[in-house]
Amino acid sequence: MLTDEQLADQLRTRLHREVATVEPSGDLLASLRRRQSRRSLKLQVTIVGVPVMAAGVAVAVLVATGGSGSHGPTPPGVTQTVLTAKTVHKMASASRHALAHSGRVTITYRQRSNGALQVTGRSGITFAGKNWNDVISQTFPAQDGQPAHTQSAINRIVDGQFYLYTEGRNGKVEWLRETNQTGHPKLTIPDPRTLFRLLNPSASFKIVGHRVMGGLRLTELRATTAPRLPALRGLPGVTRGVHVTSLTVWVDRHNLVHQMSLRVTQHHTADPIYMQKKANGAFRILVPSKAFLKEAKAVARKMRAHYPHVTARVDPSLNGHVRHYFYVTSASVTFSDFGKRLVISAPKHSVPVFARG
């Protein structure tokens, strides 16, 4: 039986052009539903990758290019001494302290499933106190009979108010303002500072080189063993069950981390559960046999919290094979503007939208 978290991951992945991670119903996604309803698609619900975000969505998964110099032989004359636990803790503490109140973080990412490219993207996050701004862009390659597609959005939180810059009900790209302050799931922007949890002695960091970035001389540290992965819920693309296969960090002489490059992998098994969207906007959950009907009905029940017309039934003509997927997610993260005065203001004009969650 799927948990709520597993279902959310699956729906976000397969409906990445329609469903936002804030999971609003009705009004907020009306325009996205209209766009999707013009296509006749049959999607396998359980083909799950690292969750991806939709236009007008808070992120879904981190994936990317990795920094230069993160692999290859160690340059001559560079020490291979493992950093002490005290030094590693000092880096994590100094970086958290420098970004405690404000800063900018840029994340680029790339995800592959069984070797095939699934998505590339960028997330530019600015935070100042409790105010946040996240500029999102994702590109999906041509697949499932659809052409390559790029989508973008801006998520913003100012004084506890959530704003979304995306296509509204009139088809125009505009600022939407969430008016329901209590009846929706938590509206948050991923906090990239949780990445500093990866800075722990279990990674056995070694100095492998140096480089200059933005006029600063940075020391390159490479994890020589896979660090124990904590719950990094603020990092798109890092979900339960992933394994860190590489981690490189660039740090300055004040122990501040300026850049991180990481690679994670994850295996997933998908039962043959399919989703079909009809022209009238209703959803149908289809399975090839009664063996999967109970799970299909559970998916339908949970979807009805956001979509009123969802049914589940058996279709013997469907492929009944259980599928196995191997996901590789690479990410490059750059930290900047440590503690600088940054102003995040509410949009001058926004359209009120009541999301029932």
User: What pLDDT sits at residue 68?
Assistant: 33
What separation in angstroms does the CA of 302 have from each of 31, 51, 258, 277, 295?
22, 18, 41, 16, 11
Comparing 42-46, 99-103, 305-309, the range with the smallest average pLDDT is: 42-46
User: What pLDDT sits at residue 186?
Assistant: 60
pLDDT tens track for 321-332: 888 888 888 999
Burial of 61 (0-12, 13-18, 19+ CB in 10 A): buried
Comparing 48-62, 87-101, 214-228, the range with the smallest average pLDDT is: 48-62
Could you tell me whether strands 351-353 and 173-178 are parallel, antiparallel, or unpaired per DSSP bridges? parallel
User: What pLDDT sits at residue 196?
Assistant: 92
pLDDT, mean over the chain: 76
Could you tell me whether strands 283-287 and 310-314 are parallel, antiparallel, or unpaired per DSSP bridges? parallel
Q: How confident is the model at residue 232 (pLDDT cuts 50, 70, 90)?
A: low
Q: How confident is the model at residue 131 (pLDDT cuts 50, 70, 90)?
A: very high
What separation in angstroms does the CA of 250 have from each of 194, 222, 262, 298, 350?
17, 9, 12, 46, 40
The distance of Cα 197 from the centroid of its chain, to the nearest Å, equals: 17
98: helix, strand or coil: helix
Q: How far apart are CA 138 and CA 50, in angstroms?
A: 13
pLDDT at 253 over 50: yes
Does residue 256 or residue 277 have the better pLDDT?
256
- pTM beyond 0.75, yes or no: no
User: What pLDDT sits at residue 190?
Assistant: 82
Residue found by looking up tokens 């590693």 in the block: 88
296: helix, strand or coil: helix
